[in-house]
Each structure stands twice: as C-alpha cells, then as structure tokens.
Structure 1
Amino acid sequence: MRKQMISSLAALALFVGGYASLAGMGGTSTVEAAQAVSSFKDVPASHWASSAIYSAVEKGYFKGYADGTFKPGLPVTKAEMASILARLNDQPELPTAEPNHFTDVPEWAKNGVSTAIAKGFIHPSSYKDKLGAQAALERGEMAEWLTQGLSVVDSDYGQALSDVTNTVIPAKEYFTGKLADSQKNAVAVALGTGLMSVANDKTFGLNRTTTRAEVAVLLSRYASVAKTKPADLQGLNELRQVGLTGTNLSVISKSFKKTPERKILLTGNQKYEDVVTDDFSLVRNKYIVTETNYADLKILNWIVVDTNVPSNNRSIYYPVFVDEGVKLQNGRQFSFVEFVLNIRSESMNQLQAGGLLNSATFNPLKSPQSKAFLSYEAPKTGDYTLNKGAFGVKNPVYWGQGLLHFNQSLTRALTIETKEGKVYSVFDTK
C-alpha cells in the first residue's frame, strides 16, 4: 500500500509538472528538501538557468521530481503556469476580478487559475469557455499574461500596453507581418521591459512553448521589472514614444527642441505659432511636400540610433538596424525612416526617389544593408526594384537609411512640411 501511495504521488508530480511536495516523498524533511534543491541531477552548476532554477525552487514556485530531477526542458502547461503565478506573494490582486468560467481546468489547478485571474495575469474575457489548461503555454500567450500582471502592479504599465499600439517592434515577426494585432502590444512591452527577448534568428517565437527552465528565468525577471518604474526603462520609453508619435528622437537625442522662429523660413501667410511643431505625430502618415513630382510620399516611422553611447544605453532598435561594433563619428547618428510611396510617374528609380526630399536625414534613396537589418527581413528598396534601380510597383513601403547631424555647428534646422501646411521643425540646442 505504501509503495502504491508513493507511486501515485510520483505520478501526480509528473502530471502537474513537479508541484507535488518533496517533503511528501517518504517523509522527506524540509531540510532535506532544501538540500535537494542544490543537487538536481539534471541541473548542474553550468546549466544556463541554474541560478534562476534554484532561486525559484527555494521560493516555492517550483518543486523537483521524486527521482531527484528538475526536468528543465519540460514544457509548462497553462494550468501549471497559472498555479505558479498564483504563488507570487508580492503580486497585488484586482479590486474586482473577472469571473472564472473555464470548464477545462483540472481539479488540482482550479484554485491556482482562480488566483492567477484575481492577480490580473489571466483575463477570462479573452477566451471562450476553455483555457486550454493542459496545453503547453506558448510564448505569445506568456507575454500577454506577464504584461497583464505588470499592469496590476503599476497602472503605467497598463498605459504602456496602450501606448505601443502603433509602435515598431524589434522582432522579425513584426517586420514580416506575422505578428497578430491581438499579441502585438504584449510582445512590445515584454521586449521593452526586458522580460523577454528575441532568439538568435531574430524571432520572438510566438508559438514556441516555454520550458520549466525558461519560466524560472522569467519569474526572476518579472520580480525585477515589477519593482521598476516604467519611465526608468529606456527601451520601453522608445517603444511608447514611437507608438504615440512615430519617432524615438525625444528619448535618444534630448537636445533637439522646436526650432525658434528666428531660425526658420516660412512661406506665404504661414504663421509660426499656427504651423510649426515639434510633435512628429502631426506629420506622421501625412503627405509630405516633395522637391519633385515623381511620387507622393508619407513617413510612417522615424528611428534614430546613436552608436556613440555605452552598450547599456543603446537604443532598443540598435540590434535591428546596426551591426555590432559599427560607430559613426561624433556628431552623427543613424536615421532610419519607414516610407510609403505612391509613384505617379510611368517609371521611377531609386535615384529619383532620393531626390523627393533632398534630405540627408529623411532619405528614401537606399535601405540599410547591415547584416542585422537583413536578418530581420524588414522591407527594403531591393524588394521592389528591377533593372537599373527602377521600381516595379507603384506603392512600395520600405525603410530608408540616412544621417542625423547633431551639434549646432554641423547642422541647420531639420524641417519637413505636410501638404496640409503643418511644418515639423527641430533644432539641436547643444
């Protein structure tokens, strides 16, 4: 009978991902359980997640298996993850939680799922009657759960989830159009906070499952992010600013301010106070006044990357556009612009595209050619051009590369005007 009981408990541990207590195995004491934490047969000190795993076990988020293993590569199910999140004691609960209407949650996980809902990680309204409780949790859904939890910790994280709706996300799925709108905001905040990252192939891996080792690391990161104010996270600030305005300039180059009236030339009856702005959102996705009539042009997004800052202060977009080790001379920053063209001429080539704005900063002539940019598979001029650089489509959307000069001795005001008459103009105040 005793052997049968132990066998049943071991089976339960395997079923729920190791949640059955080690102390329940043959009378193992708390001290013995603590000693077992540091001696998992499959988690040597050299394991990439060993520190996070030991920490998670010591805090009671995970427990090992009866055979002395942790099984770090085993996928985590939704029911298991909900039960883990329910154990986060520092996570506040919502004043009023959504009702738990799931019909497919096993008995052992019902309390955990209900608590995870109360703590804001899971929104039942996003599902029908079933959670898919025993299915492996995929990374896209993991991002949703964790960022929803953050919004309960600090309402500004909730605001961030809204702010990034129209942002540029540094993941291959975004640039290739494979990132669903329903998961876009969560992925953006997960990347901007450092909770999650892209893989070596530059993908976020929306449909990849999450292992026990990965969850241990995520729990450690979540605890750190939850103690940090959103405003203190530069990457998140960039994503929010791009989402709201179309550019990260105010985060990367704080010295750029609205061009004073004495330094800007207006035409006709234009009045400075009526038309000049430093709010890029007012010219984003508007038709821009061009030097030639080859095409109508809009700017969707403008990303600035400074290569002369320490690596810990780099733009979150640095790995997307710039190869490691590349540096521009002081006084220059990379300028990457996402253009939409409506080609009006019978044929237009890249050189003519470059003359549309006659601007070193907003330059539609050529796209970035870095290994980094190519690996993200973002749209580029080469996707649309034929022989001799002629465009083969009438409405290309692609990224161009230019330069932004900063330092008053090197540059004049940076100015573009919409066909509606709004003038965006900024000037370096250094």
Structure 2
Amino acid sequence: MKKMIISGVTALALLTGGVVGVGGVGSSVEAAQATLKFKDVPSTHWAAAAINSAVEQGYFKGYTDGTFKPSSPVTKAEMASILGRLSDQPNASSPGINNFTDVPEWAKGGVSSAIQKGFINPTSYQGKLDAKASLKRGEMAIWLTSGLATVDLDYKQALSDVTNTVIPAKEYFTGTLITSQKNAVAVAMGTGLMSVYNDKMFGADRTTTRAEVAVLIARYATVAKTKPSNYKGLNELRQVGLTGTNINIIAPKYKKTPENKVSPNVEYSEVTDDFTKVRNKNIITDTQHADLKIKNWIIVNTFAKGTERSIYYPVFVDEGFTLLRGAYYSFPELELNVKNNNMNRLQAGSLLNSATINPMNSPTSDAFAAYGGHVINDFTKNRGVFAVKNPVYWSRGLLHFDKEILSDVSLVSKEGPTYSVIATD
C-alpha cells in the first residue's frame, strides 16, 4: 500500500483550531522544521517523530503562537475528515448513507467520504454523529478496525473471531469494557495499532489527542498493508476467542496424547486436542467439593523475548522473571460451583490434583495485580474458606517440558470428551 496522504487547504485546517495560514503546505523540509520549532513538542516528547511526520505530510499545522498542542482533543468531525482523505483506502462494498443531521457544513464531505471508505457505519448511530464532541478511544478503535475490515476481509473475520477472547487491558479484567467496543479494541491491540497506557487501561472513554492521531495515522498505514496473520498477538487473540486457549501458538509441541500414554480409564475415541470440546464444560474432579469449568486457558513462555513474547506476557508476568527447568506458565480462568460450605483453597487444589491447572493458586505478579484480574483471595475469608458460591478467578500452574517431570494434561468433561495433550520432541 502506498503512503496514505490527504491534500488541500481544508485538510490542513482540520486540526489547527481554525487558525491556519493561506496557501499550501510548503516543502517537506519546511514542514519538518516547523515541527521542530513547536515550543510544546521537545525532541523527547513520546510522539515527536510521529508529529514531525504528520506535519510533513500535511495532516497537521501548528498554531500561530508556535505551539502544536499535542494534548488537545480531536473532534469526531475532524477525525472523520482526515480518514475520508486517506487516498489509498478502498471504498466499502456496501457503504451507508450520510444521514447525520449534526455535521457542520465544512465536514459533510469528509464524513461522507469516511463512510464511503468503511470507517464509519451510520447504522450504529441514531442519526447524529455528535460531530463536535471529542472522539474517544473506544470509538476510534471501532472506526480504524472497520477501515481495516474494508481493506482486507480477513480483518473483518478477525473482528468476529475475537468475540470471546481475553483482552490484555484492565477494563477487560475488571468487567468495565463496553461490549460493543470489545472486538474493535481486541483487533486494535492485536495489531499494535493501539495499546494500553501505563496504568494498564486501554482508556476507551479517554479522548483522542492530536499527538495520538499523529501516531495512529502512521500506524494505520502500516497495519493496512500487513496481513492479519503476520501479527502474533492478533493470532493469539483470535485463537483464544475461537478455542479458549493460545497453547497451539505458544506451546505448539503440545500435541494430542498418544493412546499408550492416556489413562486406561479413558476411552481413547473420546480423546481430543481441541480445547473447545471442554471449554466451559463441567470437568470431572477428583473430589466433590465443587463443580469446575475452565473458561479460558492462557500459556506464557517467560523465556521469550521481543516480538516472540505472548501478547499476554505483560498481563501475567513481571518483566525479567523466568521460570526454572524450561517450564511455561499456565493461567486457567476457572468458574467454580462450590458445594461444600466449608471448602477452602487447599480443597480447591484437590479438585484436579494437577500442577498445570491448579485451582489453589492464582497469579501473584505485580503485573497481574495492576490489571485487576480476580484471584482466589478475592473470594476466600478466614482459613482460606470460600465466601462465594460461584467464584470466577484466574489460577496459576506450570506447563512442563522437562522429560523427568513431564506428564500429559488431561481434562475429562462430564459431557464425554477428554482433552489430553502432551509435549512431543
């Protein structure tokens, strides 16, 4: 895909607060130099390079007082007009009609173009865009990922695949992420188009700033010309959404357990390596203290570096921590139905007697605490006795590769299928 640009004096006016000079953009060198002169954008600013590039390409122009105002919000009308001028963005196959009644005259053409290019779906609104309001990040994620779905149908499929995924953002773990924005946030994060803040929040309700838009313009152009399958993080999010686990991506050496290594009490014709067969199903336990279901199962390799890391690494593991003997972390999300009024966490551990899926332990990292995920301590009181009948929390175990301690991971559902996998050479 070619570099996406906008053109014309109107485009320059979009994000300048209405204070614009007369004439064209000028040369790239002049624009770049202008950026370097912004009093409020030092070279150490986190978005300095992106702002420099955006000014050079004509997306922005500074204010007459020599500032850029990187933290100033961007309105929906302004952003729609910019997106509508991305020259290499294809038109949607069945675009909606601009029936918004609150779009200012100067932005009507830009909004219509953004609709044509698949960024905005008018049917998601009630006839009003709230065009003068500041654009929030959740809505920005929807616009940008809708644009990606127009570029490549596999991005459209990805938006569907992540419906039931685990999103590495605090709002997901605390249950405050709006359902209508969840899929878009997942794809935006899986591609690296958008990410969480230092407080681990995606910030769906936070306004989008001029600096952020400068960064997003460049990132969108890159993502739009990249196949979804090239993003490891997005692949994980899709796999978790579709199957409940990322084990096939992070630990592909774990395959279906051969018949000679499966318990003789298990009918091998019922054995599968498809986790969907046991996801959210009642698992047969060793004791009768509680019923148990596994909602999701996340695997993290603590030895992986850089782009090889799981997208879930920063959620569950503190930076620099590694496990011994080549083990990977196993983080199952469990749902219990406690039957024994005095069941404690030790008895929870006896439900499966598994080092890999251990209901007695939960993540103890500072990272996970920052994301606000539920742990077993949230539901227990004195002496570790459960105070809640139906707790849902994340547990912690180990996925082994050491042959001296290696054993299969087997989950037998009451409905019949047995999920059983073991590490292969």
TM-score by length of 1: 0.92
Residue of structure 2 equivalent to 1:3: none
CA displacement 1:134-163 (0-9 Å, x = unmatched): 000001101111111111111111111111
Q: How far apart in 2 are the matches of 1:21 and 1:199?
A: 31
Tell me the SS of whatever aligns to 2:207: coil
Shift of 1:20: 6.3
Residue of structure 1 equivalent to 2:241: 243
Residue of structure 2 equivalent to 1:7: none
Matches within 5 A, 1:150-299: 150-267=148-265, 270=267, 272-273=268-269, 275-299=270-294
Q: How far apart in 1 are the matches of 2:281 and 2:132?
A: 48
Q: Contact 1:350/1:389 (CA < 8 Å) preserved in 2?
A: yes
- Runs (4+) of structure 1 exceeding 6 A deviation are 12-15
Counting aligned pairs with the same residue, the percent is 62
Shift of 1:97: 1.1
Deviates more, 1:104-113 or 1:33-42: 33-42
Shift of 1:176: 0.8
- The one of 374, 397, 401 aligned to 1:406: 401
Q: How far apart in 2 are the matches of 1:237 and 1:84?
A: 29
Aligned residues: 416
2:326 counterpart of 1:331: yes
Residue of structure 2 equivalent to 1:310: 305
Q: Contact 2:136/2:204 (CA < 8 Å) preserved in 1?
A: yes
Tell me the SS of whatever aligns to 2:123: helix
Shift of 1:228: 1.5
Taking structure 1 as reference, are residues 29 and 412 closer, same or farther at Cα in structure 2, changes over 3 Å only?
closer
Q: How far apart in 1 are the matches of 2:136 and 2:418?
A: 45
Q: How far apart in 1 are the matches of 2:43 and 2:351?
A: 59
Tell me the SS of whatever aligns to 1:61: coil
Q: Contact 1:52/1:220 (CA < 8 Å) preserved in 2?
A: yes
Shift of 1:43: 2.5
Shift of 1:201: 1.1
Taking structure 1 as reference, are residues 216 and 32 closer, same or farther at Cα in structure 2, changes over 3 Å only?
closer
Taking structure 1 as reference, are residues 368 and 29 closer, same or farther at Cα in structure 2, changes over 3 Å only?
closer
Residue of structure 2 equivalent to 1:359: 354
Taking structure 1 as reference, are residues 394 and 240 closer, same or farther at Cα in structure 2, changes over 3 Å only?
same
Q: How far apart in 1 are the matches of 2:28 and 2:346?
A: 73
- What is the one-letter code of the residue matched to 1:55? S
Residue of structure 2 equivalent to 1:51: 49
Q: How far apart in 1 are the matches of 2:177 and 2:369?
A: 18
Taking structure 1 as reference, are residues 186 and 194 closer, same or farther at Cα in structure 2, changes over 3 Å only?
same
- What is the one-letter code of the residue matched to 1:335? S
Residue of structure 2 equivalent to 1:4: none
CA displacement 1:222-243 (0-9 Å, x = unmatched): 1111121111111111111110
TM-score by length of 2: 0.93
Determine which structure has more spread, i.e. the larger CA radius of gyration: 1
Tell me the SS of whatever aligns to 2:61: coil
Q: Contact 1:238/1:251 (CA < 8 Å) preserved in 2?
A: yes
Q: How far apart in 1 are the matches of 2:264 and 2:159?
A: 39
- What is the one-letter code of the residue matched to 1:370? S
- The one of 38, 41, 47 aligned to 1:40: 38
Q: Contact 1:407/1:428 (CA < 8 Å) preserved in 2?
A: no
Q: How far apart in 2 are the matches of 1:282 and 1:244?
A: 11
Deviates more, 1:408-417 or 1:371-380: 408-417
- The one of 69, 92, 95 aligned to 1:94: 92
- What is the one-letter code of the residue matched to 1:121? F
Q: Contact 1:61/1:87 (CA < 8 Å) preserved in 2?
A: no
Q: Contact 1:300/1:337 (CA < 8 Å) preserved in 2?
A: yes
Tell me the SS of whatever aligns to 2:351: coil
Shift of 1:84: 1.0
- What is the one-letter code of the residue matched to 1:369? T
Q: Contact 2:168/2:311 (CA < 8 Å) preserved in 1?
A: yes
Residue of structure 1 equivalent to 2:383: 388
Tell me the SS of whatever aligns to 1:323: coil
- What is the one-letter code of the residue matched to 1:228? T
- The one of 365, 378, 394 aligned to 1:370: 365
Taking structure 1 as reference, are residues 68 and 154 closer, same or farther at Cα in structure 2, changes over 3 Å only?
same
Residue of structure 2 equivalent to 1:63: 61
Q: How far apart in 1 are the matches of 2:382 and 2:100?
A: 58
CA RMSD of aligned residues (A): 2.2
Tell me the SS of whatever aligns to 2:396: strand
CA displacement 1:67-97 (0-9 Å, x = unmatched): 4432212100000000111121221111331
